[in-house]
Structure 1
Amino acid sequence: MTIVPDDARQGASHLYRTMRDFVLSVDDTLPGKFEITKEGIVLDMMSPSGRHELTALRLRKRLEKVMPEEFAAHTGEPNVENEPEGIMRRPDLMVIAEADMDIDGSFDPRTLLAAVEVVSRSNPDNDWVGKVRDYALIGVPVYAIFDPRTGTGAVLTDIHSTPDGPRYATRKDFVYGEDVTIADWAISTQDLPRYESGSGKGR
């Protein structure tokens, strides 16, 4: 039997809602971090390491020091969600206006000024590949990646249409120690922690 496009969309929406219900039901009961991507549910089993969390903390403080008071560099819940695309992510840090946080449920990704991720040691492709694809698909205008494994990162901007869907057109790489611009604000990357080589532990 041939499935017509409307049925396909309804089936995809039902599958997404099933995955979403599962993720929300186990989020506080099972270890790790669950997210829904274009490829299904992703689970990062490792608990965030101190260096991962310290990186996010220093980036939050540096951004909030230079941003106007009506904006926040937010860490934590809720998720960022686009049901039509079947994507639910939780960035390590979200640059967003406080007014856009005053909602019930997940954040609309189009209200974010930027998403920031600190690369996980246990699953770096999730940050460097999956989220590069997904954040462009759901309309996050700026995606900044900080990689404590290598002391490098990148800022991706300028979403444009491609045959495979929306993608970031511009990528600016940086090394720790340089200033980096996220949305409208430049911050230092001095003194950001690095993962210990060879330890293999932690995000």
Structure 2
Amino acid sequence: MSIEPGEYARLRRAAERLSGVPGVGKVEIAGGAVRLSLPPVERHELAALAVAGQLNAQLPRTHPDFSARGDTALEAVGLGRLCRPDLLVFAETALESGRPTLAPHEVLLVVEIVRQSAEPAGAGDYAAMGIPFHLLVDPRDGTGVVHDEPGYTSRKEFAFGDTVTVGPWTIDTSGLLTYA
């Protein structure tokens, strides 16, 4: 979905104002609207830490000077999309740009961990952005999906306890906890 530049700029200003409101978790732009979510619960954060730890242990071998971080936003202005995935894998030099967000071409992997009371974000936006890999982890039922191949034509489902391959990385999901 594309959006008129002036409309996106208006939404972006609103998102910036809302991001400073106490108690608000993610502030994103999708589908022509600003979307808010509550802060995550502890098990959500534990899953993010576990996946980030495994990725950061492997990145020096596969992609030196890259890291998996959860404190950076991703923006595709042409698609009208501002998102704050739980983790992004990108070159640390991208942080030197002075921009407040990463551009899609700077990102190798997006990791989304489904929040307890929310529907999962669609992988279609990340595919449209050209991001090579997407990992969806769903602690609501202890499952997940790896999307890869151009346009995410490959979809590999897994259950917590499996070891999954995401591009050149391997993630052991046996330590992930469900919300229940």
Q: TM-score, normalised by structure 2?
A: 0.90
How many Å apart are 1:13 and its aligned residue? 0.8
Please point out which of 67, 75, 86 is paired with 1:92: 86
The 2-side partners of 1:87 and 1:70 are apart by 27
Q: Which residue of 2 aligns with 1:34?
A: 27
> Are 2:11 and 1:19 aligned?
yes
**Residue ranges of structure 2 left out of the alignment (5+ in a row):** none
How many Å apart are 1:53 and its aligned residue? 0.4
Q: Do 1:91 and 1:115's aligned partners in 2 also have CA atoms closer than 8 Å?
A: yes
From the CA coordinates, give the structure whose radius of gyration is larger: 1
Q: Do 1:75 and 1:92's aligned partners in 2 also have CA atoms closer than 8 Å?
A: yes
Q: TM-score, normalised by structure 1?
A: 0.80
Q: Do 2:41 and 2:116's aligned partners in 1 also have CA atoms closer than 8 Å?
A: no
Q: In the comparison of the two structures, how many residue pairs are matched? A: 174
**Residue ranges of structure 1 left out of the alignment (5+ in a row):** 1-8, 161-167, 197-203
Please point out which of 77, 91, 98 is paired with 1:104: 98
Q: Which residue of 2 aligns with 1:43?
A: 36
Q: Which residue of 2 aligns with 1:183?
A: 167
Q: Do 2:43 and 2:178's aligned partners in 1 also have CA atoms closer than 8 Å?
A: yes
Q: Do 1:141 and 1:157's aligned partners in 2 also have CA atoms closer than 8 Å?
A: yes
How many Å apart are 1:64 and its aligned residue? 0.9
Structure 1 segment 65-76 matched on structure 2, within 5 A: 65-68=57-60, 69-76=64-71
> Are 2:128 and 1:137 aligned?
yes
Please point out which of 66, 75, 80 is paired with 1:81: 75
Please point out which of 124, 129, 141 is paired with 1:150: 141
Q: Do 2:88 and 2:111's aligned partners in 1 also have CA atoms closer than 8 Å?
A: yes
CA distance 1:189–1:116, shift in 2 (3 Å) = same
The 1-side partners of 2:153 and 2:171 are apart by 22
How many Å apart are 1:39 and its aligned residue? 4.2
